[in-house]
Amino acid sequence: MSKKRFNVIVAGATGAVGNQMITCLVERNFPVKSIRFLASGRSAGKKLGYKGDEVVVEELTEHSFKGADIAIFSAGGSTSQTFAPFAAKDGCVVVDNSSGWRMDPEVPLVVPEVNPHAIAQYTNKGIIANPNCSTIQMVVPLYPLHKKYGIKRIVVSTYQAVSGTGKEAVDELDNQTRAILNFKDFEKKVYPHTIAFNCLPHIDAFMENGYTKEEMKMVNETRKIMEDDTIGVTATTVRVPVFYGHSESINIETKSNISAAEVKSILEKAPGVKVVDDPQNNIYPMALEAAGHDGVFVGRIRNDESISNGINMWIVADNIRKGAATNAVQIAEILTREYL
Ligand code: 25A
Ligand code: L14
């Protein structure tokens, strides 16, 4: 085993995902030599815990990266677009969680269970992109099925937790729920409508084609990660009043003959996947049970009886862990083990 250790930065450390990244680095025993936490100026001076120590948060600037080996970013798309190139220039490889670099053809977009080989392309720009949370949990179980049966088309509807939007959205659902149950007035700050006791068919901005950006991320990122532009993907992304854990209803149509029984046995052996599928005993994946875990949970696996080669399933994962922080730290682990 290599004893090499690395100078690590977490950028956006005070956010929902950044906090989880710190936890993941500790939980997974990442080979850290030194650690620094960066955020916007309004958080500079705050302290965050790390292995029993307190680490002072510094303001992220273009000079933050001298001497660092790896920076894991979750500070939003525009912050990453501005600052990741400064890190790369100083020889610090960026693993970026935002949407800022994902579709750049020179930047690898990686899910370790699917395309770990793509990490090698980090040398192009010094940046590796971490996919969107809804895309990650979809491709982990679909990739082994694509290899075996060839996926023609995916129809997905998501049921996404508020934590995907960040800390303020978690507070908003909490505050609105309390207010409504107590007949009090409340504010709408994060979402354009009440999220408590509601479902909003709207995640990220609307585009000219009538889809949201979140929906188009699922289309484009899936093809890039699976390295196959022929896969048809159509998505409807919905915000639901859940704190942690995204759920997805997924229908696939394959080129070759597929059956629910075979899918179950393939997924039982698939890396990163846990089959939770015993409906007779009310056992199926649920957000409340997936939250706090790193697995992608799959259940309700059944044949689509309306077409000859179709399967329906229900996929749940913790959007902050496997959907963001865990996946980014897994990428960083492969980078340190095989490339740095
Ligand atoms: O642009 P995107 O890619 O769509 O991403 C938008 C947001 O989604 C989250 C993340 O929010 C991001 O800002 N996100 C990103 N990738 C994600 C993923 N894969 C993802 N969510 C899920 N899955 P977040 O709240 O989780 O974290 C934001 C972090 O980024 C830091 N940050 C923001 N701007 C920065 C910056 N760091 C450096 N330079 C900048 N210019 C941010 O630090 C946080 O760590 P902060 O100091 O801005 O926030 C610390 C605390 O301040 C509170 N707060 C937030 N907004 C305000 C605020 N306080 C006052 N006024 C505000 N306007 C927060 O509660 C936060 O805890
Ligand atoms: O592209 O609001 O990584 O739930 C992930 C979650 C953007 C927003 C991304 C949300 C995002 C999002």
Tens-place pLDDT, residues 75-86: 999 999 999 999
Nearest-angstrom CA–CA distance, 148 and 65 = 43
Q: Give residue-wise pLDDT tens across range 285-312.
A: 999 999 999 999 999 999 999 999 999 9
Can you list the residues of the chain whose pLDDT is less than 50?
Answer: none
Q: Is position 193 annotated as part of the catalytic site?
A: no
CB atoms under 10 Å from CB of 52, counted, come to 6
CB 50 within 8 A of CB 71: no
**Residues 6 or more apart in contact with residue 309 via CB below 8 angstroms:** 149, 152, 253, 254, 255, 256, 257, 258
Burial 113-138 (b: 16+ CB within 10 A, else e): bbbbebbebbeebbbbbbbbbbbbbb
Residues 6 or more apart whose CB falls under 8 angstroms from that of 15 comprise 39, 74, 75, 166, 167
- Structure-block tokens of residue 340: 């740095």
Could you give the 3-state DSSP secondary structure of residue 232? Answer: strand
Taking only the tens place, the pLDDT of each residue in 106-144 is 999 999 999 999 999 999 999 999 999 999 999 999 999
Q: What is the pLDDT of residue 3?
A: 79
Q: What pLDDT does residue 6 have?
A: 98
Spell out where the chain has E strands.
6-11, 32-39, 47-50, 53-56, 58-59, 70-73, 93-96, 127-129, 151-160, 232-239, 246-254, 273-275, 296-303, 310-317
Closest residue CA from atom 11 of ligand 2: 132
Runs of H (alpha helix) within the chain = 16-27, 77-89, 133-149, 167-181, 213-226, 260-268, 287-290, 326-338
Strand pairing category for 58-59 and 32-39: parallel
Q: Which tens digit of pLDDT belongs to each residue from 246-263?
A: 999 999 999 999 999 999
CB of 135 within 6 A of ligand 1: the answer is no
- Give the Å distance between the CA of 217 and the centre of ligand 2: 10
Q: Does residue 40's CB lie within 6 angstroms of at least one atom of ligand 1? A: yes
Dist CA 338 CA 340 (whole Å): 6
Among the listed residues 24, 92, 146, 246, the single catalytic one is 246
Give the pLDDT of residue 50. Answer: 98
pLDDT at 2: 57
**Distance in angstroms (rounded) separating the CA atoms of residues 218 and 196:** 25
The percent of residues in the chain predicted with pLDDT above 90, rounded, is 99
199 carries an active-site annotation? no
Is there an atom of ligand 1 within 6 Å of 64 CB?
Answer: no
Separation CA 14–CA 175 (nearest Å): 21
> Ligand nearest 171 Cα, by number?
1
Residue 94, ligand 1, Cβ within 6 A:
no
Amino acid at 209: N
Considering the candidates 24, 92, 133, 146, report the single residue annotated as catalytic: 133
Q: Which pairs from 43-50 meet CB under 8 Å and 24+ separation?
A: 43/14, 46/14, 48/13, 48/14, 48/19, 48/22, 49/22, 50/22, 50/26
Distance (angstroms) between ligand 1 centre and the Cα of 76 equals: 6
Question: CB neighbours (10 Å) of residue 315?
Answer: 26
Q: How many angstroms separate the alpha carbon of residue 319 from the centre of ligand 2?
A: 9
Residue 99 Cβ < 6 Å to ligand 2: yes
**Residue of 13, 4, 155, 140 lying closest to 71 (CA atoms):** 13
Ligand of minimum distance to the alpha carbon of 218: 2
Q: By three-state DSSP, how is residue 103 classified?
A: coil
